[in-house]
C-alpha cells in the first residue's frame, strides 16, 4: 500500500507521515474537519517533568480542553479518541486526571466506550501510599458507527481445547478459535531502563500498546494522530500497520529522536517488544536474583514447614 514512505512537516491529506516540530494546536488548525480516524495520546500530566511547566490545575485542564476540542473537530464520524493519563499529585494527594478530563469529552457529545487499565510493574516506590502501578486510557467515539476490529487484536484463549458438554453444540469447541477479547485490563510492560525501546525520553509509550489501538480502531490507509508525540511511538505503530501517521512535538531533541525512530521503522530496523510477548517472569526464567541472599537455607525450610502447616490446618 505504501511504497516510498516520506516524512513531511506540514499536514496535507495527500501526505503520508507528518512530524510537526511545534505546538499541537498550530498543527491541528491546519487539519481538515473529520479527517482523522484515531487520535491517541499521552499528554503532559502537569507534574513538572522536564518538558512541561507546572501550571495551576484549572489552567492545565483548560489547555487540555482546547486541544481535545480541536481533535474532536478533526475526528471522522467513525473515529475514536484515546487519552492515556495518570495522576496529578498535589502535596501528596493524588488526583486521577481522567476524572477531570471525562466531562470535557462528554460535553462535546462523545461516548465513552472503555476505561482501560494499563498495568505495569515498574515505577517509583512510594513510602506514604501504595506505589502507582497502573494508568488509564479513556476511549471515546464520536458516533455509534465507530470502527472496531476486534478480531485483529484477539489474544490466546486460556482453555482453547474446552468444548460444550451438553446442548446443541455439545462436542464443539466453546471458545472463539480466533482468540478472546483482550478485556479492559492490559498488562504491558512500561518502557523503563531494561526495555528494548528505551530512549532518553522520560515517558514513552511501548509500541505494542499503540498497535492494539491502531489495529482495532482504524483500517488500513486511515490517519492516526498524536498531538503530544514525544518519541514518535504513535506514528511508528501507524506505519507498521499501513496507516498514515501524524503528530506534533515541541521539544527539539524529541523531534530529532522521533524522526530517527520513524526512519528506522520505515527501514525495518527499529527494535521493539513484539505484541503478545508474555511478560517476563523471573521465577519461570530461573533468575538467580529471585533467591534472597539474607535467607539461609535452614530458615527457608522452616518457613515452608509453617506454610504447609497453615494449608493443613485451614481445612
Ligand X SMILES: C[S@@+](CC[C@H](N)C(=O)[O-])C[C@H]1O[C@@H](n2cnc3c(N)ncnc32)[C@H](O)[C@@H]1O
* Interface with ligand X (CB under 6 A): 23-24, 42, 44, 51, 201, 203-205, 228, 230-231, 233, 248-251, 254
Nearer to ligand X, 37 or 42 (CB): 42
Least separation in angstroms between residue 118's CB and ligand X is 12
Nearer to ligand X, 201 or 244 (CB): 201
Q: What residues contact residue 264 under an 8 Å CB cut-off, 6+ apart?
A: 270
The per-residue b/e assignment along 176-191, b for 16 or more CB within 10 angstroms, e otherwise, is eeebeebeeebebbbb
Nearer to ligand X, 23 or 34 (CB): 23
**C-alpha cell of 75?**
475526528
Least separation in angstroms between residue 153's CB and ligand X is 19
Q: In degrees to the nearest 10, what's the CA dihedral of 213, 63, 96, 20? A: 30
Q: What CA–CA distance (Å, rounded) separates 25 from 23?
A: 6
Nearer to ligand X, 75 or 85 (CB): 85
**C-alpha cell of 184?**
479492559
Q: What CA–CA distance (Å, rounded) separates 86 from 88?
A: 7
Least separation in angstroms between residue 49's CB and ligand X is 7
Nearer to ligand X, 63 or 157 (CB): 63
Nearer to ligand X, 180 or 195 (CB): 195
- Give CA separation, 62 vs 59, 67, 133, in Å: 5, 9, 27
Closest by CA position to 75, among listed 24, 110, 99 = 110
Least separation in angstroms between residue 7's CB and ligand X is 16
Least separation in angstroms between residue 73's CB and ligand X is 17
Least separation in angstroms between residue 111's CB and ligand X is 24
CA 17 to chain centre: 20
Least separation in angstroms between residue 47's CB and ligand X is 10
Q: What CA–CA distance (Å, rounded) separates 131 from 191?
A: 17
Residue number of the CB closest to ligand X reads 230
Region of residue 124 (phi > 0: left; psi between -120 and 50: alpha; otherwise: beta): beta
Q: In this structure, is the dihedral angle defined by the CA atoms of residues 78, 84, 90 and 93, taken in order, positive or negative?
A: positive
Nearer to ligand X, 78 or 83 (CB): 83
* DSSP H or E stretch at residue 294: none
Amino acid at each position: 500500500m505504501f511504497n516510498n514512505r516520506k516524512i513531511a512537516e506540514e499536514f496535507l491529506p495527500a501526505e503520508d507521515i507528518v512530524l510537526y516540530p511545534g505546538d499541537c494546536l498550530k498543527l491541528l488548525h491546519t487539519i481538515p474537519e473529520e479527517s482523522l480516524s484515531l487520535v491517541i495520546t499521552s499528554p503532559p500530566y502537569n507534574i513538572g517533568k522536564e518538558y512541561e511547566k507546572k501550571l495551576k490545575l484549572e489552567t492545565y485542564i483548560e489547555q487540555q480542553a482546547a486541544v481535545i476540542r480541536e481533535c474532536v473537530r478533526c475526528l471522522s464520524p467513525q473515529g475514536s479518541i484515546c487519552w492515556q493519563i495518570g495522576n496529578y499529585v498535589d502535596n501528596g494527594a493524588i488526583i486521577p486526571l481522567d476524572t477531570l478530563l471525562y466531562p470535557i469529552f462528554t460535553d462535546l457529545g462523545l461516548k465513552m466506550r472503555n476505561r482501560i487499565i494499563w498495568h505495569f510493574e515498574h515505577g517509583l516506590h512510594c513510602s506514604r501510599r501504595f506505589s502507582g502501578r497502573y494508568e488509564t486510557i479513556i476511549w471515546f467515539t464520536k458516533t455509534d458507527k465507530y470502527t472496531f476490529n476486534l478480531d485483529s487484536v484477539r489474544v490466546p484463549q486460556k482453555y482453547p481445547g474446552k468444548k460444550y458438554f451438553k446442548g446443541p453444540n455439545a462436542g464443539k469447541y466453546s471458545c472463539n478459535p480466533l482468540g478472546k477479547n483482550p478485556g479492559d485490563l492490559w498488562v504491558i510492560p512500561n518502557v523503563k531502563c531494561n526495555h528494548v525501546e528505551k530512549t532518553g525520553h522520560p515517558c514513552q509509550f511501548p509500541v505494542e500498546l499503540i498497535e492494539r489501538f491502531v489495529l482495532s480502531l482504524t483500517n488500513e490507509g486511515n490517519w492516526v494522530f498524536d498531538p503530544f508525540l514525544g518519541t514518535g511511538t504513535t506514528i511508528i505503530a501507524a506505519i507498521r500497520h499501513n496507516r498514515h501517521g501524524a503528530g506534533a512535538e515541541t521539544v527539539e531533541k524529541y523531534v530529532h529522536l522521533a524522526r530517527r525512530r520513524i526512519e528506522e521503522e520505515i527501514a525495518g530496523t527499529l527494535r521493539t517488544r513484539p505484541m503478545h510477548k508474555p511478560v517476563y517472569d523471573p521465577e519461570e526464567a530461573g533468575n538467580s536474583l529471585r533467591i534472597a541472599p539474607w535467607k539461609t537455607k535452614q530458615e527457608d525450610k522452616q518457613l515452608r514447614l509453617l506454610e504447609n502447616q497453615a494449608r493443613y490446618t485451614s481445612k
